[in-house]
Amino acid sequence: MKILHVVGARPNFMKIAPVMREMSRHPESFEQILVHTGQHYDEIMSDVFFEELELPRPELNLGVGSGSHSWQTAEVMLRFEPVVIKHHPDWVVVVGDVNSTLACTLVCSKIGVRVAHVEAGLRSFDRNMPEEINRLLTDQIADLLFTPSQDGDQNLLREGVAREKIHLVGNVMIDTLVRLMPKAKARWPSLQEDLGLGRFLLVTLHRHFNVDEPDALLEILDALSEISEEMTILFPVHPRTRQRIREFGIETNKKDLHLLDPFGYLDFLALQIHADLVLTDSGGIQEETTYLGVPCLTARPNTERPITIKLGTNRLVDTTRKALVDAFHDKLAEGRESRNVPPLWDGHAAERIISIFKELNRDSFLT
Ligand code: UD1
């Protein structure tokens, strides 16, 4: 089977890595090509992950870069179409919910190339999120849907997706976490020393509703300033958030509120493992903290990963200054809850995906 994998933005790399790794253990069955759309292009948002996750260099980088959502989606489509036509793969594998995911799926659906979507079925039910639109549309037109949790299956069935397309395989992001945990742990002593860390709150924020409006961003940074009087805060700042802080002329001059560049995968995982608390608006970090049993506050009105609340350590929090400060105190007082890992978040999701592809291959020979 000729498989063309697509990655575009930071959260894609840790999802495709275990799938490619597992397929490369079966060279008799799979020929693989990796294409990077170039949605993320900085060393710290992209290159470092290839090295740390041991991903092969992409055969091709489409070099799309940043722009409005429509521009970015359209540009990926224009540049991706000739690549699929040239390689004519049996399957295109897309992951997650970024603009590149939808753009490449759309291209394939128009020219009759089959698409498998890894991390299908997640829904926030909030259509103001560009990622929700990407998820809904990708899942409607993809041919094979690999879900990380049971709620994903239920969402897809409710949307009329045929049952035979849906496969509950577990969470590929956790495959990467499980594999690289020892390496991340080994980095902790030097990281701890370099950053002079004791107890700390780890923060990431990049969603448009938190960072694109001056008042919203200011309110969150005010809360962080207040919290930093009690606990050191490490805030690796996404390029989008960095731009906004600069644009809005916001000053942050608290001694223990550290605005840093984004970390690579291993250092960030080491920081999550040792954080007293995490505050985020990312999807993947809600899952990683649940797996690790680290308390997490999610600065969003909803989540497409309800299992992290139901079973895990996650709690949604309003983004007013008072709500954030109160939630910080409450969550810290609760301490570490008992660790509850969702079913099939066991480090073997990619193996299950590969078995399904192999079955499909066998069936296509039989018919
Ligand atoms: C994208 C994804 C989001 C994911 C996030 C992880 C969509 C709709 N959103 O959001 O789901 O959680 O990536 O990071 O696809 N920038 C750089 N360097 C880079 C990449 C981006 O400076 O390497 C800046 C650009 O100025 C750009 C801004 O960040 O305008 C936003 O980048 P973009 O990829 O459009 O969206 P994200 O906010 O990163």
**How does DSSP classify residue 165?**
G
Long-range pairs of 361-367 with CB within 8 A, sequence gap ≥ 24? 361/1, 361/29
Q: How far apart are CA 342 and CA 307, in angstroms?
A: 7
- Protein residue closest via CA to atom 33 of ligand 1: 66
**Does 9 sit in the ligand 1 pocket, CB within 6 Å?**
yes
Mean pLDDT of 175-190: 98
Strand (E) or helix (H) holding 112: none
Q: Is 290 in the pocket of ligand 1 (CB under 6 A)?
A: no
Reported as a pLDDT band with limits 50, 70 and 90, residue 205 is very high
Per residue in 122-180, pLDDT (tens digit) is 999 999 999 999 999 999 999 999 999 999 999 999 999 999 999 999 999 999 999 99
- Which of the residue ranges 191-195, 302-306, 333-337 would you say has the lowest mean pLDDT? 333-337
Quick one: pLDDT at residue 125? 98
HSE-CB of 336 using CA atoms within 13 angstroms: 13
User: Stretch 295-302: mean pLDDT, rounded?
Assistant: 98
**Of ligand 1's atoms, which has the minimum distance to the CA of residue 282?**
12
Report the percent of the chain where pLDDT is more than 90: 96
**Is 104 close to ligand 1, i.e. is its CB under 6 Å away?**
no
Would you place residue 366 in the very low, low, confident or very high pLDDT band (cuts 50, 70, 90)? low
Q: Are 98 and 134 in contact (CB under 8 A)?
A: yes
| Span 221-244, average pLDDT | 98
Q: In this structure, which residue's CA is closest to atom 29 in ligand 1?
A: 240
Span 241-270, pLDDT tens digits: 999 999 999 998 899 999 999 999 999 999
Question: How do residues 53-73 score in pLDDT, each as one tens digit?
Answer: 999 999 999 999 999 999 999
Q: What does pTM read for this prediction? A: 0.97
Active site residues: 206
